[in-house]
Amino acid sequence: MNFLDLHRWDVTPLEAIEIQNRLRRQLILDQAPAVIRTIAGVDVSNAFGSNRLFAAVVVLDLQHPQPKGFPILEVATASLEVAFPYVPGLLSFREIPVVLKAWEKLQIRPDCLMADGQGIAHPRRIGIASHLGLLVDLPSIGCGKTRLIGAHREPGPLQGEWSPLIDRGETIGAVLRTRDGVSPVFISPGHRMTLDRAVEIVLSSQLRYRLPEPTRMAHQLVNEARRAA
DNA sequence: GCGACAG
DNA sequence: ATCTTGTCGC
């Protein structure tokens, strides 16, 4: 398998795993951006048993919060018919193609991206947030609503409290309470990111909902795009 | 062999 | 992921 193969999407599950094993070595996890001015939220929507996927990317201005939320600097959407099925651990190969199609329309290059799913909290330490961060060469954060792998204690009930997510003796993420009393989200560094910075950035992009604004807005926008289609 | 399993 | 608005509960 040569370098070009790492950019093919019409692969078998076995080939996908091999690509992940090669790509994971390129991840940078010992440094993170000190300041984030703009952040992109990424989400994908898929209609009930269909292979027609929709993606939305929304760029938010974290530096100038308004009463209603963070200013939306840009939105890009796309749709695509895909063949790769949903396989736990191989989500990237189903969802990233349509995300890249939307991403290419973006005029702004954000400082960071946040994806709906895991970063390194993945069996091979390369979830969709890590994979996407590598492809667009940006710091990235995974923000999943549920767990893929790892064990953890129940985090404290207050906003900002978190418990480490641990797999094979390694801390791979944080189970973070984003608001008092809500069920926690699963945060993990994706690429060019550390866990502590990921948690800080998530909390700084937090408004009054369970999900941080980047993924919450992206989820809202992708559903609008899908209904309009 | 059995259970778990992002979206 | 998705079918779905108002409604029950802290």
In tens, the pLDDT along A196-214 reads: 999 999 999 999 999 999 9
A223 touches strand C (CB under 7 A): yes
pLDDT of residue A165: 98
Between the alpha carbon of residue A16 and those of residues A12, A13, A87, A94, A118, the distances in Å are: 6, 5, 11, 11, 17
Provide CB contacts within 8 A for A166, sequence distance 6+: A150, A151, A152, A172
Contact A54, A225 (CB under 8 A): yes
Separation between Cα atoms, residue A152 and residue A195, nearest integer Å: 15
Question: Which residue's CA shows the smallest distance to C1' of B6?
Answer: A117
- Residue A48's pLDDT band (cuts 50, 70, 90): confident
Place of tokens 């480490």: A164
A43 touches strand B (CB under 7 A): yes
Overall domain count for chain A: 1
Q: What is the pLDDT of residues A93-138, one digit of tens each?
A: 999 999 999 999 999 999 999 999 999 999 999 999 999 999 999 9
pLDDT at A215 over 60: yes
pLDDT of residue A1: 55
A3 touches strand C (CB under 7 A): no
pLDDT at A3 over 80: no
Separation between Cα atoms, residue A92 and residue A111, nearest integer Å: 21
pLDDT of residue A222: 96
| Residue A202 half-sphere exposure toward CB, CA atoms < 13 A | 38
Chain B, protein-covered positions (CB within 7 A) = 5-7
CA of A145 to C1' of C6 (A): 24
Give the strand order in the sheet containing A112-115: A72-81, A52-61, A38-46, A112-115, A140-144, A185-191, A170-176, A162-167
pLDDT at A61 over 90: yes
pLDDT at A2 over 80: no
Tell me the one-letter amino acid at A47: A
Pairing of strands A162-167, A170-176: antiparallel
Among A153, A144, A149, A205, residue whose Cα is nearest residue A172? A149
CA of A173 to C1' of C5 (A): 36
CA of A63 to C1' of C10 (A): 34
Domain CATH code at residue A139: 3.30.2170.10
What's chain A's Rg over C-alpha atoms?
Answer: 16
A167 touches strand B (CB under 7 A): no
Q: What is the pLDDT of residues A11-45, one digit of tens each?
A: 999 999 999 999 999 999 999 999 999 999 999 99
pLDDT at A185 over 90: yes
Nucleotide nearest to A222 (CA to C1'): C1
CA of A185 to C1' of C1 (A): 17
A145 touches strand B (CB under 7 A): yes
Host domain of residue A79: 3-228
Contact A57, A140 (CB under 8 A): no
pLDDT at A68 over 70: yes
A24 touches strand C (CB under 7 A): no
A13 touches strand B (CB under 7 A): no
